[in-house]
Every structure is written in structure tokens, then in C-alpha cells.
Amino acid sequence: MKYVSLRKIWMVATILVLVLAINLHAQDDKSKRPSPPATASAKIGNATVTINYSQPSVKDREIWGGLVPYGKVWRTGANEATVFEVSADVKVEGEALKAGKYGLYTIPGENEWIIIFNSVSEQWGTQYDESKDVLRVSVKSEKVSSNTEKMTFKVAEDGSVTLMWEKLSVTFKVSG
């Protein structure tokens, strides 16, 4: 009798452990998030530029000046900080940026944006520390007629890095 009871306990414990393990794995599956992960990458000169970010959706919300306020630092995506990685030294809008990984933040404006490269790349997006900024550049934003539902980065071999979301496009230049 004791043998059967211990066996039942062992089976129940095993099933419980399996259920918990599956549940924990599902929580780690970032593709199931409302703002799933995405990557944009291209070779620009001698450098490979890669951006790892999370894609929030418009979902009928007012984005610019609403969800994303003007004049305030934005994590430029959702969830963890957006990571901008370059495999070799480059110039961004003519300013030097050493090879490495950076947290990519922005300060959106109605017509002009500040693009920020922060030395801390592996962190939750809202844990920004201005004292860790490595480079800031200003670029113009452009209103576009087509709607981009999910925030999207494109990196092109001509050196243009473009953020598109809702009816807005922001491009900065990277050169080797």
C-alpha cells in the first residue's frame, strides 16, 4: 500500500514539474508578447549594423504626441531597450561611433528627432541614464501617407537606417 502511495505522489510531482516547466518556457517566449521581437540588419561599408527591438502596434492609438510624447526620451520600441550593434567603427550623421552594442533611444519632436546611442545596451527600456550617452545626433522626421501598423526598422546597404511607425518615418545615415 505504501509503495502505491509513494508512486502516486511521484507521478503527481512529475506532472506538476512538467506543467510548471512548460508554463515558464511559454513566458520566456518573447514572440508571444503583444510587442514581439524583431531584427533589422545590413552590411554598411565594412560594418554590419544590427538592430534588435520590440515592435509595438498602433492599435488605433494616437502615437506621436500621445502614446509617445514629444520632447521626452523614448525607449524607441517596447520591452527591453532597443539594441543598436555595429561590428566596426562607423560614423552616424558624420559623428564617430565605435564598434559595439548600444541602447538606442530617441527624443521625438514634431519635425526633428534626437537619436541617442547609450553605452548600456542590456537593460529594460525605461532604465535610461543620460550620463551613459555616447552619441546624440539630430535628424528630421517625415510624415508619410502610408500607415505602418507595427513599428519597423530598416537598415539598408546605402547606410540609411529608417524607423517607420504609424504615418511617420525617421532616417539617419551610417557610414563606414
pTM for the predicted model, two decimal places: 0.81
| DSSP summary character for residue 81 | P
Spell out the domain ranges in the chain.
1-32, 34-175
* CA separation for the pair 80, 32 (Å, rounded): 15
In angstroms, rounded to a whole number, what is the distance separating the alpha carbons of residues 56 and 66? Answer: 14
pLDDT 10s digits, 89-117: 999 999 999 999 999 999 999 999 999 99
Q: What is the pLDDT of residues 22-68, one digit of tens each?
A: 554 445 786 676 678 999 999 999 999 999 999 999 999 999 999 99
| DSSP string computed for 104-131 | EEEE--SSEEEEEEES--SSBTT---GG
